[in-house]
């Protein structure tokens, strides 16, 4: 099967970025040709895996921040002398959700 590559993709790099790029190309087990190196990086499973990991980490970070906000609200309320019996259970349930997300993340990483 013959490949007819008709599209060109360009990127501008600073001199430092270009030097780093060339080092990566030369020190890599991927093709030494810059075009082939870029194609290999883009279309390899590695980039797809790291994108999936980044997405999961972003979600995990969001959930942890939500819990932090909740804990701060409960602490502010308690400092004002207002404490609701369900607050402790709510925080514990949210922490359990994060623990479950972390466990799911670990399992997903094992599959990658």
Minimal CA–CA distance to 82: which of 94, 90, 74? 74
Burial string for 67-98 (b: 16+ CB within 10 Å, else e) reads eeeeeeebeeeeeeeeeeeebeeeeeebeeee
Beta-strand ranges (E) seen in the chain are: none
pTM of the complete model:
0.52
Q: What pLDDT digit, counting tens, does each position of 44-55 carry?
A: 777 777 777 888
Look up residue 32 and give its DSSP letter.
Answer: S
What is the pLDDT, as a whole number, of residue 19? 92
Q: Is the pLDDT of residue 92 over 80?
A: yes
Most confident option among 6-20, 22-36, 43-57, 97-111 = 6-20
Instruction: Judge contact between 32 and 23, C-beta under 8 A.
Output: no
Residue 39 has a CB neighbour count (10 Å cut-off) of 15
């Amino acid at each position: 099967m013959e490949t007819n590559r008709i599209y060109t993709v360009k990127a501008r790099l600073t001199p430092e970025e270009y030097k780093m790029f060339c080092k990566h190309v030369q020190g890599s087990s991927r093709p030494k040709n810059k075009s082939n190196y870029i194609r290999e990086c883009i279309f390899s499973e590695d980039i797809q895996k790291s994108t999936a990991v980044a997405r999961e980490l972003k979600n995990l970070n969001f959930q942890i921040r939500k819990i932090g906000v909740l804990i701060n609200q409960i602490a502010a309320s308690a400092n004002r002398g207002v404490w609701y019996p369900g607050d402790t259970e709510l925080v514990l349930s949210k922490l359990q959700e994060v623990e479950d997300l972390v466990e799911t993340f670990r399992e997903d990483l094992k599959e990658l």
